[in-house]
């Protein structure tokens, strides 16, 4: 699970100029990004919460899965569920607000499409916390090694 | 490799990291208990930390600032919840305003540190960081959806994997 997330994160970083298409920029918790992290933390946390809240519902997760293909509109999606069109429309609206799906016009139709960047945002945030702490542990190790040498 | 395990539970907003050191527990504890040592590892190299106050007792505060390459000085604090030298430490880590008061507009992280000797002169340290979750956590618990959310995270990974294959 983590392996996939990490591969993807480095893939994203490796693409260099690729701009964050959706939502606020995730802060880079490495050295140079620290202050930017402080500044933008509030927005990120709010959106991070929104992402998980949106995914906390089975129907909405299913919509996200179906909308990867980006072929169905709200009315076609609604046919898959034993609930009203209005209820499905509401679920789509929650996902839209969380940045997980967006509506796209294809010819005369409007389709719902999953926003992949929105999906891996939550995982990336945890990945960056891991990096922050890995850096700290490395410095702790250096410190311990250093005092051992002094004592010797 | 000193980091031996990392568990990220997206559904509980928790990251647990385990590391092992070739040192007794007392030595590892000093990394936290001695402010001069703490400031040598807390901040990244380009944002070194300076510890301004260090009261490692329940209810006590640790205050620090970091100095960036452009002279910027973000400030932070810990609110110490529990201390049991050299075995455990729990604190709330938040951002502070310029005057040192907590910046309540920014999220604070709960951290629990556990230190235990594992024989052979080695010590294991585990750090559990709980990310603030407010709205989402309430919602998740209210709906009894913890298991569902775990599946959702699995699904996210599956989707991401599909995407990277498609790109390749």
For the question of whether the overall pTM of this predicted structure is more than 0.80, the answer is: no
Model ipTM value: 0.71
Bridge partners, residue B111, by sequence: B91, B129
Question: Cβ B31–A140 below 8 Å, yes or no?
Answer: yes
Per-residue pLDDT band for A52 (boundaries 50, 70, 90) equals low
User: Per the omega criterion (within 30 degrees of 0), is the bond before B73 cis?
Assistant: no
Q: Which residue of B has its CA nearest to A135?
A: B44
Which of chain A's residues have a Cβ under 8 Å away from the Cβ of B161? Answer: 4, 8
Return the exposure string of A93-123: e unless at least 16 CB atoms fall within 10 Å of the residue's CB, then b: ebbbebbbbbeeeeeeeebbbbbbbbbbbbb
Per-residue pLDDT band for A128 (boundaries 50, 70, 90) equals low
pLDDT at A147 over 50: yes
Minimum distance, in Å, between the CA of residue A23 and any CA atom of chain B: 18
Distance, CA of A9 to CA of A4 (rounded, Å): 9
B5 touches chain A (CB under 8 A): no
Q: Which among A42, A114, A125 has the least Cβ separation from residue B106?
A: A42
Q: Which among B42, B45, B156 has the least Cβ separation from residue A123?
A: B156
Q: Are the beta carbons of B119 and A35 closer than 8 angstroms?
A: no
Minimum distance, in Å, between the CA of residue A49 and any CA atom of chain B: 5
CB within 8 A of B70, min separation 6: which ones?
Answer: none
Which of chain A's residues have a Cβ under 8 Å away from the Cβ of B155? Answer: 61, 64-65
B168 touches chain A (CB under 8 A): no
Bridge partners, residue A109, by sequence: A106
B127 touches chain A (CB under 8 A): yes
Q: What is the pLDDT of residue A44?
A: 44
Q: What is the pLDDT of residue A47?
A: 52
Mean pLDDT value of segment A133-142: 89
Return the exposure string of B19-28: e unless at least 16 CB atoms fall within 10 Å of the residue's CB, then b: bbbebebebb
Distance, CA of B77 to CA of B52 (rounded, Å): 10
Question: Which has the closest alpha carbon to B12: B112, B104, B142, B147?
Answer: B147
Minimum distance, in Å, between the CA of residue B145 and any CA atom of chain A: 6
Distance, CA of A32 to CA of B8 (rounded, Å): 24
Would you call A150 exposed, middle or buried from its count of C-beta atoms within 10 A (0-12, 13-18, 19+)? exposed
pLDDT at A109 over 60: yes
Q: Which among B105, B136, B160 has the least Cβ separation from residue A42?
A: B105
Question: Cβ A38–B74 below 8 Å, yes or no?
Answer: yes
pLDDT at B154 over 50: no
Per domain, the residue ranges of chain A are 2-151
Question: Which has the closest alpha carbon to B50: B24, B77, B15, B29?
Answer: B77
From 3.40.50.2300, 3.40.50.1970, 3.30.70.20, 3.30.530.20, which CATH number describes the B3-132 domain? 3.30.530.20
Q: Which residue of A has its CA nearest to B8?
A: A126
* Model confidence pLDDT, tens digit, residues B123-134: 999 988 776 643
Question: Cβ B45–A138 below 8 Å, yes or no?
Answer: no
Q: Are the beta carbons of A37 and A28 closer than 8 angstroms?
A: yes
Mean pLDDT value of segment A117-132: 64
Per domain, the residue ranges of chain B are 3-132, 133-168
* Model confidence pLDDT, tens digit, residues B11-53: 556 778 888 888 899 999 999 999 999 998 888 777 788 999 9
* Model confidence pLDDT, tens digit, residues B95-115: 788 888 887 655 567 889 999
More confident residue, A7 or B41: B41
Which of chain B's residues have a Cβ under 8 Å away from the Cβ of A64? Answer: 155, 159
A69 touches chain B (CB under 8 A): no
What is the CATH number that goes with domain A2-151?
Answer: 1.10.10.10
Rounded to 5 degrees, φ, ψ at B114 are -125, 130
Per-residue pLDDT band for B56 (boundaries 50, 70, 90) equals very high
pLDDT at B82 over 60: yes
Minimum distance, in Å, between the CA of residue B59 and any CA atom of chain A: 24
Q: What is the pLDDT of residue A124?
A: 60
């Amino acid at each position: 699970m983590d392996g996939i997330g990490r591969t993807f994160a480095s893939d994203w970083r490796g693409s260099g100029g690729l701009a964050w298409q959706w939502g606020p920029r995730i802060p880079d918790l490495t050295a140079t990004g620290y202050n930017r992290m402080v500044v933008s933390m509030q927005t990120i946390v709010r959106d991070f919460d929104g992402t998980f809240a949106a995914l906390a519902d089975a129907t909405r997760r299913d919509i996200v899965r179906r909308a990867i293909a980006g072929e169905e509109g709200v009315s076609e999606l609604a046919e898959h569920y034993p609930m009203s069109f209005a209820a499905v429309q509401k679920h789509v609206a929650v996902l839209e607000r969380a940045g997980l799906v967006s509506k796209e016009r294809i010819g005369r139709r409007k389709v719902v499409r999953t926003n992949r960047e929105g999906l891996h945002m939550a995982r990336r945030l945890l990945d960056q916390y891991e990096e922050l702490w890995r850096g700290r542990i490395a410095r702790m190790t250096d410190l311990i090694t250093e005092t051992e040498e002094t004592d010797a | 490799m000193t980091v031996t395990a990392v568990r990220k539970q997206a559904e509980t907003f928790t990251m647990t990291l385990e590391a092992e050191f070739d040192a007794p527990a007392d030595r590892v504890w000093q990394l936290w208990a001695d402010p001069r040592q703490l400031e040598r590892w807390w901040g990244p190299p380009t944002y070194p930390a300076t510890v301004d106050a260090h009261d490692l007792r329940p209810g006590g505060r640790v205050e620090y600032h970091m100095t960036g390459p452009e002279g910027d000085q973000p400030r932070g604090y810990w609110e110490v919840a529990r201390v049991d030298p050299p075995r455990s430490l729990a604190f709330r880590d938040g951002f502070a305003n310029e005057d040192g008061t907590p910046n309540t507009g920014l999220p604070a992280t709960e951290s629990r540190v556990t230190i235990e000797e594992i024989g052979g002169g080695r010590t294991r340290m585990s750090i559990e960081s709980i990310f603030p979750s407010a709205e989402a956590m309430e919602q998740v618990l209210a709906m009894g959806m913890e298991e569902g959310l775990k599946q959702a995270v699995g699904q996210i990974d599956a989707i991401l994997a599909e995407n990277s294959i498609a790109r390749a």
